[in-house]
Amino acid sequence: MAHKVIIAGGGTGGHVFPAIAIANALRKLEPDIDILFVGAKGKMEMEKVPQAGYPIEGLEIAGFNRSNMLKNLLLPFKLLKSLFQAKKILKRFQPDVVVGVGGYASFPILRAAQGRRIPTLIQEQNSFAGKSNVILARRAQKICAGYEGMEKFFPADRLLYTGNPVRSAISQSAVTREEALTHFGLMQGKPTLLVVGGSLGAKSINEALLPHLAEFVNKDVQLVWQTGKLFFETAKSASAPYSSHVKVYDFINVMDFAYKAADAVISRAGALAIAELCVVKKPVIFVPYPYAAEDHQTSNAMSLVNKQAALIIKDSDAAPKLAGEALSLVQNKALMDKLTANIAPLGNINADMTIARAVLGLI
C-alpha cells in the first residue's frame, strides 16, 4: 500500500517552494506516494501548491502580528479552530508521517500529529530557529537543518544538517545567459542586476531604488526588478521612460531565467533566497528584513558575509546607500569574482533528496 505523507506550512515562497521540492523528491524515491499539503487559507500556498500538481487543504490560522497588536486578539480562537481542523484532516487522511516546513500552518498540524503519536519531521530553514519549531522539536523524531551549528536550538541526537532544498528548475536549469536576456527583452553584454524582495516584494528595497533609475540607465546597467504586487504599478509607471533597461514584474515565475540573466543580485535574506543564490553562485547584496522573527534574516545573511561570500546593507540604510552600492558592485569585477568564488562552495543541490530519505526513514 502507498505511503501517506502530509507536508504542512507556507505563508511565503520561502516556505512553499522548499516544501514542493521535498514533495517532488519523495515522488522520485516512491512514485506512488500519497502526499497532501496543509496550508493557511488565503496564503500563496493555496495557489502555488495546486499549480505544482498536489492537493492542499487550508487551515484558518494567522501568524502573530507584530505591527498591529489588536489583530492578535483573535489568535487564540484561530489556533483552537485550526487545531480542531488539523485533527479532522489527520483522522481522514491517516498519514504515516507529517513534515513541517515552517509558516503558520505547520504548528497546528504537527502539534495534533504528535498528540496522536504520528512521526513528525521538522525542516528548519533559518540559522536562528523559530519559537514554534523549538517547541515542536521536543517531540519530533527528526529535525533537518538548513544551517550548521543548530545544536543550540535542537536536540543534537535528532538533528540532521541537510542544507535547504532548492527547486530543481533552478538547481538543474539548462538555460543559457543569452536565452535568459532575450526572455526579459534585455540587451546582451551589458551589466544586469536582479532585484528581488522575496515572493511578496520588499518596500524598503523598492523605495530605495525608485529615485535612482536614471542613474542605472546612464551607467548602462540593466535591471530585472521583482516588486511584489503592492508596489508594481508605482514601479511600472516610474520605469516607463527607461523601459529599454528596466524590466518590472510583480512576481517572476521563471527564477532560473532571472538568475541566469543577472551579473549580481539585490535580495532579502530569507533562507530560500540564500540557498538559491549559493546554488547559482551570484554576487549578492543582502538587505535583511528587520521584522522577521528573532531578526533571523540578519543572522542568515551574516553566515555568508562572515565568509566574504556576500555584502550586507541594513534595511534602515537602504534609502541612502543601496543604489550606490549596487552600481559600484556591478562595475567592480575583482569584487564580483571574489564574491562568486566564496559563495560557490556553499551551494547544496541534494538537500531535497536528503530530507526525503529522512522522511521515508520515519515510516
| Domain shared by 35 and 142, yes or no | yes
pLDDT of residue 211: 96
Note the pLDDT tens digit of each residue in 261-281: 999 999 999 998 999 999 999
| Domain shared by 132 and 236, yes or no | no
Helix axes 13-29, 351-360, angle to 10 degrees: 60
Q: Which of 58-67, 134-143, 271-280 has the lowest mean pLDDT?
A: 58-67
pLDDT band at residue 66 using 50, 70 and 90 as cut-offs:
low
Segment 22-36 shows an average pLDDT of 97
- As a whole number of angstroms, the distance between CA 49 and CA 47 comes to 6
Which is higher by pLDDT, 31 or 12?
31
**Cα torsion angle, 249, 252, 258, 264, sign:** positive
| Domain shared by 72 and 191, yes or no | no
- As a whole number of angstroms, the distance between CA 88 and CA 182 comes to 49
**C-beta of residue 349 within 8 angstroms of C-beta of residue 320:** no
Note the pLDDT tens digit of each residue in 324-361: 999 999 999 999 999 999 999 999 899 999 999 999 99
Q: How many CA atoms lie within 13 A of 137 on its CB side?
A: 25
Q: Which domain holds residue 242?
A: 170-346
Residue 124: pLDDT over 90: yes
| Domain shared by 63 and 155, yes or no | yes
End-to-end CA separation in angstroms for the chain = 13
| Domain shared by 115 and 237, yes or no | no
| Domain shared by 190 and 313, yes or no | yes
**Which CATH number do you get for residue 50?**
3.40.50.2000
| Domain shared by 47 and 145, yes or no | yes
Stated pTM of the model: 0.86
Task: Give the count of domains, the chain.
Answer: 2
| Domain shared by 69 and 204, yes or no | no
Note the pLDDT tens digit of each residue in 165-221: 998 889 989 999 999 999 999 999 999 999 998 666 789 999 999 999 999 999 999
Backbone angles phi, psi at 306, to 5 degrees: -65, -20
| Domain shared by 121 and 51, yes or no | yes
- Cell readout for 85 is 481542523
Residues contacting 4, CB < 8 A, separation 6+: 33, 34, 35, 36, 93, 94, 95, 96
pLDDT of residue 72: 67
- As a whole number of angstroms, the distance between CA 110 and CA 107 comes to 5
Which is higher by pLDDT, 68 or 233?
233
